[in-house]
Structure 1
Amino acid sequence: MHDTHHTPDLHELLARLPDAPVLRDRCRGVAMLEAILGPDWVDRYYSFDSRWGDGEETASMRDGEGDDWFMVFSAAGVYARGFDHTAANAGARLLPEVPEAFRSHVQEPAFGEEDGVPLATVCFWREGGDTAWRAPSAAPTGGVGLFALLAAEDLAEAYRAWAEEYYELEESLDPAAVAHVLALRPLTGAVVSALNPDLDVEELADDLAGIGYPVS
């Protein structure tokens, strides 16, 4: 299930995405909210791994139905690719245009492949010196909407609406607590309890370290 009340086309998405440092912060904040709402990692929709590789971090999304995206943050910039399982794999025509700086990410087997061709129905990137997000000249075959949440003008409200539906919450999420986490402010027991009364902040130690979330 995606947050697709309005599914942007790729050009619209890229125009709305923030620059790389802000996008990284958004990914970390959303991943921390997911860790609080879904203590079991396998049940989480959004994740962030600050220890992916030497100088590399990854943000990811998996919907459990075959759709996913992966985003790598490194010294070279940001590389992102998404896969919509209902669309044709377009990796063979999309990925050759990805800059050489991201070639190892394109070929990363953990991101999936089909008959030796990396999985991708959409991809985009931003090198360190770029002033805008870039994408292949070939049109994506699907999956643009998988990134819609990250481009939301009001991320806190967009996440609240999405999470309340996805997790089938009986009560609305506390707006102040959601905003606190997305602002990457150190967690408190009160903030965690407001989002998940069954979880203690001490239980999040591994997630805090894995996500690279700031601690006091």
Structure 2
Amino acid sequence: MNPKIIGRFAFLLMPFLLAGCKPMTTPSSKAGATTGDPTYQKNPHPTQAYRLTMRIEDAPGPFGWISGTAFYQMNNHTQCTPIEPIAGVWNKSDEDGIPIHFEKRDASTYVATIYADGMIDEDYYGKGVCRWELTSMDVSLKATGKNEETRFQAGLYKDKLSSGLPTTTYFWSGGYPKDEMDNYPDSGHSDPTQFKEDLRKQLFKVTLIARKDAS
């Protein structure tokens, strides 16, 4: 699992409860009014839909709390944002995120819709249109949502999003519902042989797959 996933969850953790409960209030864009920067705009009428399916197999217990985020990145950041004149660097944010709302289909299957055009391409800084692309989606699961519980983290990156191929992440069941460290971020492994041999029969897995919605 790419280690960047941990930082992303820390940056933009957008929790919500399942089974029809209201999502919690989410933070505003990283480009906020407090800095005087423009707020990056979410597309109110996106059309480029992807159907996201998450399957959980051999879990040691239920997951009553799931947080998901679709991440977007500017692909022309240095062309459409101003350079900081003293340091000579581009310090404006080049990333933003949109919460993903999962629906539970059965005990082990959840579905959601994400959009490739979730962000609005716009001239935010007066230097030309900033263009966004969907680069990844991350999901975090907890037993009930208590702060001290382990955060099991999985994700899909750009190559798998565009190809429609699944990504499976394996986790040690012994970390459920909590590890020795409170709120431990467990990003698992993509290969079960990366676990010690005596732990390989104590694993569960989370599989994510995104396919273009033809409807």
Using structure 1 for the length normalisation, give the TM-score.
Answer: 0.25
With normalisation by structure 2, the TM-score equals 0.25
Q: Which is higher, the Rg of structure 1 or of structure 2?
A: 2
| Structure whose residues are more often strand by fraction | 2
